[in-house]
Amino acid sequence: MKKVWHELYPGNLEPSFEKIEAYIDNALWTEMNDFLADTYSVTPQLVFSRCSAQPGWNIKYKKNGKSLCTLYPMDGYFIALVVIGTKEMTETEILLPLLSEYTRDLFNSVSFSAGGRWLMINITSERVLNDVKELIKIRVRPKGKKQENKVLK
């Protein structure tokens, strides 16, 4: 088992994106980052957090000042934080039956607080990754791309 992420890279030791990718060691990581770069033309921001829930270096993606998601490196997978705010709630509830059971259960178990539902989604499968992509598209519509739900059944 690898060392815990925040112990490997404390606040004074910023990891490279290559080191992050090597730690996660999962092709879904590349797919997620490629999706965000290609769909939204955004650059990731490496940020250190002292938050007790998920401390350490994380990767934030924002478009026009609005958060798309925050990605947290884990051993063999990663977590995507997606906040579903009041504006996105109705559309998310409509999409919910098309999402994986894992994502539906997580959504239903998280209370609305601080302006939204803060979903910490473990990306461990292609299906869950696709759920996250669809939730991000609800948060910020991709420009110049035809909108279609590509959720796997």
What domains sit in the chain, N to C, each tagged with a CATH number?
A: 5-139 (3.30.1460)
In the predicted structure, residue 152 carries a pLDDT above the cut 50: no
- For residue 107, the model assigns a pLDDT of 96
- For residue 54, the model assigns a pLDDT of 83
In the predicted structure, residue 149 carries a pLDDT above the cut 80: no
- Choice among 26-30, 37-41, 47-51, 56-60 with the minimum mean pLDDT: 47-51
DSSP 58-94: EEEEEETTEEEEEEEEETTEEEEEEEEEHHHHHHHHH
CA angle 84, 87, 91 (to 5 degrees): 75
Q: What is the pLDDT of residues 65-108, one digit of tens each?
A: 889 999 999 999 999 999 999 999 999 999 999 999 999 999 99
- For residue 146, the model assigns a pLDDT of 45
- Choice among 4-8, 49-53, 92-96, 122-126 with the minimum mean pLDDT: 49-53
Chain centre distance of CA 26 = 15
Of the pLDDT bands very low, low, confident and very high (cuts 50, 70, 90), residue 143 is confident
Q: Which amino acid is at 84?
A: I
DSSP at 10: -
